[in-house]
Structure formats: structure tokens, C-alpha cells
A and B are shown apart, each in its own frame.
Chain A
Amino acid sequence: QKEVEQNSGPLSVPEGAIASLNCTYSDRGSQSFFWYRQYSGKSPELIMSIYSNGDKEDGRFTAQLNKASQYVSLLIRDSQPSDSATYLCAVVFSGGYNKLIFGAGTRLAVHP
């Protein structure tokens, strides 16, 4: 069974802090990894994609991938109340046609 696991949260952080979101996946052959943000009642919005081991930075966001540990994470620096949302980890498993397998999401609450 191909699965993507995330802590459901809520993860509560103060404004200005670093939020750390984690995700594990079951398929060692996976090659493509994505973080989406979803506000309540809205569609997933792409934040980051990552394909190689290591870190990838984009503004306040850093994605980290460790394929040996089957682990991908998202760091949000200088968290803002507007970052409060559910963060979805999505993985493209090997052998498919690029379908995304989503985790259940981690709810992030940034309080002033």
C-alpha cells in the first residue's frame, strides 16, 4: 500500500517563529515531492516541489528531502498569521502516470 503520512496537528507557532512540517512516504522509488497549501474550502495551492536530496529554498520556505529515510519536510521561516492553513505533502510514486498521492495534511496555526 502506497502511503504518505503526516501529523494532523494542529501545529501552533507564534508569529515570527519557524514552523516545521514533516512527511514520510512508503515508496522508496518515488522521485517527485510537493508541498501544497490548502485554506479551508479552497483548492491545493503549490508551494514547493523537490526532486533531489537536500534542501531547496524559495523565499521563506525551505523544502528538505532525504530519500534514504523516505522523509520530506517543509520549513516556514518568519511565520505569519496568513500562513495558517493545512499543508499537504504529495508524492508521485514510481510506476504511475504522475498521479499525486496526498497525505492527510498538517494544520498550521500561527498566532500573533
Chain B
Amino acid sequence: EPEVTQTPSHQVTQMGQEVILRCVPISNHLYFYWYRQILGQKVEFLVSFYNNEISEKSEIFDDQFSVERPDGSNFTLKIRSTKLEDSAMYFCASMLTFLGGTQYFGPGTRLLVL
């Protein structure tokens, strides 16, 4: 069964460093999402992406964040200058259709900012 994959599974970085989180969505899916979950808190929406552009972003997704689909398979989230409060699990999700579509989540990247 096709699944969403994410790399790396864990990343430790120093405050102020740039990180890139990578996702490979399910191959025929068209809609892509990033969510994050701070330890012990809700899963929160960050950004949605369709047709090579951002369709919606949350207040969390400020100028330090960017997303890109550099080729036909990868979908990346970049954090330019990490802060301590960026420490969280980051989940990528993909969806085939817009109306009534279901989002399938990748296994996540655990980011720890020291």
C-alpha cells in the first residue's frame, strides 16, 4: 500500500541553524500539507500546498518557514533560523482529491532545537 515517507526521522540542531525536512507524498496525490505537534499538545496545521504554490498557511508559518516541491516527488519544509520553540514532531500529509479527500500522514520528523 502506498505511503507517505519522511526523512530524517530525528534531527537535532542548534538554535539559529537552518533545517530542511523532507517528505515524499503518495505518488498520485495532488495536495500536500505540513502539520506539527509540540510534545503533549494538539496537532497543528502549518501550510497547504497545491499546484506548486501555497494555498493556505497558519499564523505559525511565518517568514522563517518555507515549502517547496523541487521535483515531481519531494515536498520540503525549511526552517531558516530555528528557535527553541520549533522543537516538535513535524508531519507531512498528502491527499488525492479536494472534495471529500482524506489526508494520509507520514511517520513524522522529530526536531529538537538546542
Point out residues on A near B: beta carbons under 8 Å. 31-32, 34, 36, 41-46, 49, 51, 88, 90, 96-105
Contact = CB atoms under 8 A, between A and B. Distances in A.
A46 B104 contact: yes
B25 interface: no
Contacts of A102: 42-44
Interface of B: 31, 33, 35, 41-45, 48, 50, 55-56, 58, 89, 91, 93, 95, 98, 100-108, 110
A103 B91 contact: no
Contacts of B48: 97-99
A101 B45 contact: yes
For the complex of A and B, the 7 pairs showing the least CB-CB separation, nearest first, are A97-B56, A97-B55, A102-B43, A99-B45, A43-B105, A43-B108, A97-B48
Given A97-B50, A98-B101, A101-B45, A43 B56 contact: no
Contact of B100 (A45, A51, A99): A51
Nearest to A48: B102
Contacts, number: 59
Dominant secondary structure of chain B at its interface with chain A: strand
A57 B35 CA distance: 28
Contacts of B45: 99-101
A108 to B, nearest CB: 17
Contact of A34 (B31, B56, B102, B110): B102
A96 B105 contact: no
A102 B36 CA distance: 11
A34 B102 CA distance: 8
Given A34-B102, A98-B95, A99-B45, 6 more contacts: A43-B89, A44-B91, A46-B105, A97-B48, A99-B33, A100-B45
